[in-house]
Structures are given as C-alpha cells and as structure tokens.
Amino acid sequence: MSAESTASAAASTAASNVEAFDAVDVIRTKRDGRAVPEDALRWMIDAYTREYVADSQMAAFAMAVLLNGMERDEIRVMTDAMIASGERMSFAGLGKRTVDKHSTGGVGDKITLPLAPLVAAFGVAVPQLSGRGLGHTGGTLDKLESIPGWRAALSNDEMFAQLQGIGAVICAAGSGLAPADKRLYALRDVTGTVEAIPLIASSIMSKKIAEGTEALVLDVKFGSGAFMKDVGMARELARTMVALGADSGVATTALLTDMNTPLGRAIGNANEVRESVEVLAGGGPADVVELTVALAREMLALAGQPDADVEAALADGRAMDAWRRMIIAQDGDPDAALPTPRETHTVTAPTAGIVSRVEALPFGVAAWRLGAGRARAQDPVVHAAGIDLHVKPGDEVAAGQPLFTLSADDAARFERALDALHGAWEIDDAAPPVGPLVLERITA
C-alpha cells in the first residue's frame, strides 16, 4: 500500500471516530442557564458511560445542573439516556401485576421489610431491588443480611421464579441496570452535587424504570433525618419523579412523609428486622404500621386492588406467611436467632416530664458510629449494633426511666455515639405538637 493510500485510510478511520459533540459546549450551555438539546444530552451521558467524557467534565456539568436546574424535558431525556446505557428488565411473562416502592431514605426506615410480603399476600408481584446504607441512612440489604443464611444476590431467573411463586423479592440490583447512573452517582458524592433535584430524580427513576415494573410508589421523606430537609424541596423532587414515571409509562404516585423523628423504636440492622417481624405479626410501633399500611394501599391501588383489606392481611398471618416464604427462598432461616450485641449502654431521663423531641439525624449518625452503618462502600456493618428507643415524642417519663439503649460490639464506640446525641432529645413540661406522618399524596 502506498504512503498516500495509508494516510487516506488513517484519515478515514479518524473521521469515523469523530464524536458528534464536544463536552465543553454541553457544559457551557448548562452553565449559561440554557436547555441542552436532546441529541447533545444523550451523547453526553453515552460518552461519559464510555469514559470518553472525563470525570472532571461531568463534574462541571453536574455543578451547572445544581446551580441552574433543568427543564422537565431535559430531565426526561437524561433519565432515558441513563436507562439506555444498560439492560432493561421485563416481567411481561409473569402473569401478575408488578408494583415497586422506593424510599428516599431515613432513620429507622425498615418499611420495605414488612411491606413487600404484605403486598405480595394479595397476589401482586413486588420486585424490590434494594441497596446498602452509606452514612446515617440504613440499607435494606444490610438489615436482611442479619438473618443467618440470607443472600442478596439473585440471578434474573431466580428473581423471576421467586416472583412467580411467592410474589416478593428483596435483592441487590444487577450491575447491568443504568450503569451511567452508577458512575454519575459516585461522582456526585465527591463533588458536592448530590442535592441537585434533576440528578436525584433521574438517578432514582432510571433504575426503577429499567427494572421493568408496571407501577411505582415513592416514599419521599422530608425533615431532620431525610435527604431533603425542606418539605418544599421534597415536594419538588416527588413531583419531578412522578412526572418521569408518567412520561415512561410507569404508573407512579408519591407520598410525602415526615422524617424529623426516627421511624419506629429500632435503628440499626438486626433490631430493625425484629421490629419488622413484630409488624408482620400484627403488632409493632404505630408509626411503622401506619406507613406500611399507607404505602401498601397505594401499591395495591396501582395494581388494581383499591379496596384490599391491608390490615386484615397483617392480622390473620397472610403477610407473615409471605415473609417466611420469601426469606426461605433466599436461603435465610426465619426462625434463627438474630445477632445480639456484646455491649450495651442505656441513657436514662435526668428529670421527669414529657419527651418533646427525638431528632432523627443525630440518632442516625450515632447508630452509624456504633457500627450499624458504613463510612465507605467497602466497609462491613455490625449487624447487632444500633439504638433501641424506649420512648417517643409525647411519652411521659419519670426521672431515671430508660430513654434509649445503645448497642455495639465494642464499648469504645459509645463515647462518639453519645457525642452525636448531645442536644438531640428533650424532656419538657408539655407535649409537642403532633403533625401527620403522611403529609401529602402526589399523583400525575
């Protein structure tokens, strides 16, 4: 081959590798507050997934989104592009209606555990792809791994078979779902852009839509222990995600729920499993039962059963039966003893009065410091670590009465946990005002 023809071939190859857009132009568009054209935005997500766009460039783009926001159509396109970056599951051959639930996370939020088998007791399939905790919010998989033998990793075939036979699956999401989001989520975590509502919404909904469920109920939390402290921002996030679901053909509703106080009385892993089983047995804390029932009603309504008697399924054992079958199917032993801590420390009331405040965030941080959570994704959790609340706001207490108990495998952890709880609770002369647990319902 002549030098001329070799040069021509090289030029042709180079031309075929020319990218359709430039990341700098996309960044400038959003930096200047303008909408990014659809084809350019799709390219940006695809090029970042292929590692053509550098982390530094995507970080700049994410910061521009945080500062300037996105139009609804931009968020839809970005979500769709992240879905297109990986596989998309389908439950079309299941022969059951499918409905999922997602919580934006909180302290003591074990609702998925009783909720999935409760909804499955009505013949509805619940494919609950869950995650692990990081920081003060607990992870559903970490809680369930307190159960001896239970495994989070299932193949798609195992998941499908379990949904067909039992109706409920709580397991880890496969790496093939929305890989663009996996890269972008990790980047946001270290660049101060986690709070961008368009990025939160597209992150959550890309995975949920790719999962292939027909319907979705969102538990969007606000308050001290929530991702969104401000109720207005939580409402905006909920509306954005409900709109994304509607745009993608997934029937979606959202509940705005209060996370100023921890849910229930258990904060941790094994103790939250115990509390969930209490709910499935027809007992449990009133707030956990209330939210479980509210979300179950939403899910069943979307699945075509608006009149389902949810409370009856908790009372008569149907939900518990579904729980046991679900745990056994994933090699867990529902009758096995759960881990117990080596060390405990109980804090008592210094004076008599009425508990006026138990603030969620400090209690979540304290449980994390006790070993119930992880600072890095690769860190192990101590399943027996956590906090058990003996009182809730509005309870009357006597001097010396136990308020809460810290649990850990190493007593040296108590000091830093107690530091986190300084000023996090109060005893007063009067009962605090009581607001609704479920503030608002948002639909398309």
Annotated catalytic residues are 102, 181, 188, 203, 207
Residue-by-residue pLDDT tens, the chain, 444 positions: 444 444 444 334 334 578 999 999 999 999 999 999 999 999 999 999 999 999 999 999 999 999 999 999 999 999 999 999 999 998 988 989 999 999 998 999 999 999 999 999 999 999 998 877 766 777 899 999 999 999 999 998 999 999 999 999 999 887 788 899 889 988 887 888 988 999 999 999 999 999 999 999 999 999 999 989 999 999 999 999 999 999 999 999 999 999 999 999 999 999 999 999 999 999 999 999 999 999 999 999 999 999 999 999 999 999 999 999 999 999 999 999 999 999 999 999 999 999 999 999 999 999 999 999 877 667 789 999 999 999 999 999 999 999 999 999 999 999 999 999 999 999 999 989 989 999 999 998
- Evaluate whether the domain defined by 343-428 bears CATH number 3.30.70.920: no
Token pair, residue 165, equals: 């036979």
| Phi, psi (rounded to 5 degrees) for 214 | -80, -30
Q: Where are the domains of the chain?
A: 19-69, 99-336, 343-428
Q: Please check whether residue 82 is in contact with residue 202, taking contact to mean a CB–CB distance below 8 angstroms.
A: yes
Interior/surface letters 49-64, b for 16+ CB within 10 angstroms, e for the rest: beeebeeebbbbbbbb
What angle do the packed helices 179-189 and 197-210 form, to 10 degrees? 150
Q: Could you tell me what percentage of the chain is helix, strand and coil, using 3-state DSSP and rounding each to the nearest 5? A: 45, 15, 40
The secondary element (H helix, E strand) that includes residue 103 is strand 99-103
Which residues touch 147 (CB under 8 Å, ≥6 apart)? Answer: 273, 327, 332, 333, 334, 336, 338
Place of tokens 């108590």: 414
Separation CA 389–CA 347 (nearest Å): 10
Written as six digits, the tokens of 119 are 């909804």
Please choose, from the candidates 272, 426, 424, the residue with its C-alpha nearest in 3D space to the C-alpha of residue 360. Answer: 424
The two tokens of residue 230 are 């401000």
End-to-end CA distance of the chain: 64
Identical fold at 99-336 and 343-428?
no
CATH of domain 19-69: 1.20.970.10
**Residues 131, 208: contact at Cβ < 8 Å?**
no
Contact 170, 38 (CB under 8 A): no
**CA distance linking residue 315 with residue 295, whole number of Å:** 17
Q: Which CATH number fits domain 99-336: 3.40.1160.10, 3.30.70.1230, 3.40.1030.10, 3.30.420.40?
A: 3.40.1030.10
